[in-house]
């Protein structure tokens, strides 16, 4: 088969791949490599197809064969991705560092190295590669979000807040970052900011909005079983609220004799109000629970 025939088959495989016909494309790439074992691009594409189907072991073997024909940044990175997926973190780090030896500015390798070192419990190294990524791409939302998480995990609250703020400036209304910010504010004792951020999330994030709308719709025209649920919930909530208020009053009047409500008491009420569709009250009791856990770290809710 001539070079032109091989190129024609390669283009046919590309079209099949584009149309989502993965197994057919893989078959043609394999045929091409049988005819021309030195066609590195076919190895690269075949490895990517194995990756898409979740077969990391075949992808790794294919990328390794491609590397025998010539070392490229992309090949080493792809190899690192598959090794990371399999949990072979040391090998993944080695492959990713090899990619950076060929191209120090390859952004994806810096990002994945950061994730590898996070898994290896090396936050210092993870921070280093995230900062490298930010130097290469100052508006990289993934890098700032990951950096905020690293700082949170290492209890660097001010740095975590700054990184989370930047991540949100780049990617507004990211519910994951906004929720992380509520936790950071609690750690810093900024309870009002925590509440305001939580309130914003529940009124803008799609999942929260849909949940609230479904609760309101069910309460307006409840089915028989839903009416029983909401009636029982009303009774339980009132009982729990009375108990909570009694504990709070007694603890304020006689702090030496009575303990304040615990985090679990507040979490129970928060969940109940959430199912009432009363998001604001749910958030207030959730914030009480957060504050309680922050001030009494040895106590556990659950």
Each residue's pLDDT tens digit, 112-124 = 999 999 999 999 9
Least confident stretch, 21-30, 89-98, 222-231: 222-231
Asked if the model's pLDDT at residue 109 lies above 80, the reply is: yes
Print the SS3 string covering 242-288: HHHHHHHHHHHHCCCCCCCCCHHHHHHHHHHHHHHCCHHHHHHHHHH
State the chain's mean pLDDT as an integer.
Answer: 85
The C-alpha atoms of residue 198 and residue 200 are separated, in whole angstroms, by 5
Which of 81, 76, 90, 67 lies closest to 111, judged by CA? 81
> Taking residues 38-51, what's their average pLDDT?
89
Output the pLDDT for position 179.
79
Band of the pLDDT at 16, cuts 50, 70, 90?
confident
CB 144 within 8 A of CB 128: no
CB 185 within 8 A of CB 155: no
The C-alpha atoms of residue 69 and residue 39 are separated, in whole angstroms, by 8
Each residue's pLDDT tens digit, 226-284 = 777 777 778 888 888 888 888 888 888 888 778 877 877 877 777 777 777 777 787 78
The C-alpha atoms of residue 197 and residue 201 are separated, in whole angstroms, by 6
> Taking residues 63-91, what's their average pLDDT?
95
Asked if the model's pLDDT at residue 84 lies above 80, the reply is: yes
Output the pLDDT for position 66.
92
CB 197 within 8 A of CB 177: no
Q: Which residue has the tokens 């810093």?
A: 188
CB 61 within 8 A of CB 34: no
Q: Which residue has the tokens 């994951």?
A: 176
Name the residue with higher pLDDT: 43 or 221: 43
Least confident stretch, 9-13, 62-66, 290-294: 290-294
User: In the numeric block, which tokens belong to residue 150?
Assistant: 């690293």
Output the pLDDT for position 205.
65
Asked if the model's pLDDT at residue 302 lies above 50, the reply is: no
């Amino acid at each position: 088969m001539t070079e032109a025939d091989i190129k024609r088959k390669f283009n046919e495989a590309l079209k099949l791949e584009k149309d989502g016909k993965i197994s057919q494309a893989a078959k043609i790439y394999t045929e091409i490599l049988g005819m021309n074992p030195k066609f590195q691009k076919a190895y690269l594409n075949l490895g990517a197809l194995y990756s898409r189907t979740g077969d990391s072991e075949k992808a790794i073997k294919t990328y390794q064969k491609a590397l025998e024909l010539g070392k490229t940044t992309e090949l080493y990175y792809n190899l690192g991705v598959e090794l990371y997926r399999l949990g072979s973190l040391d090998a993944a780090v080695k492959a990713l560092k090899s990619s950076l030896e060929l191209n120090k500015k390859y952004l994806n390798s810096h990002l994945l190295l950061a994730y590898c070192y996070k898994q290896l419990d090396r936050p210092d190294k993870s921070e280093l590669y995230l900062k490298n990524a930010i130097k290469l791409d100052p508006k990289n939302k993934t890098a700032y979000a990951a950096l905020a998480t690293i700082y949170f995990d290492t209890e660097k609250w001010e740095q975590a807040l700054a990184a989370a703020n930047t991540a949100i400036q780049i990617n507004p209304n990211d519910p994951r970052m906004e929720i992380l910010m509520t936790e950071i504010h609690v750690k810093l004792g900024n309870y009002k900011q925590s509440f305001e951020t939580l309130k914003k999330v529940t009124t803008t994030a799609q999942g929260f909005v849909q949940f609230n709308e479904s609760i309101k719709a069910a309460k307006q025209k409840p089915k028989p079983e839903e009416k029983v649920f909401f009636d029982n919930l009303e009774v339980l909530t009132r009982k729990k609220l009375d108990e909570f208020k009694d504990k709070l009053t007694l603890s304020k009047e006689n702090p030496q004799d009575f303990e304040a409500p615990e985090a679990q008491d507040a979490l129970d009420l928060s969940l109940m109000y959430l199912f009432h569709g009363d998001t604001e009250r749910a958030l207030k009791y959730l914030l009480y629970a957060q504050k309680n856990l922050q001030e009494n770290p040895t106590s556990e809710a659950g």
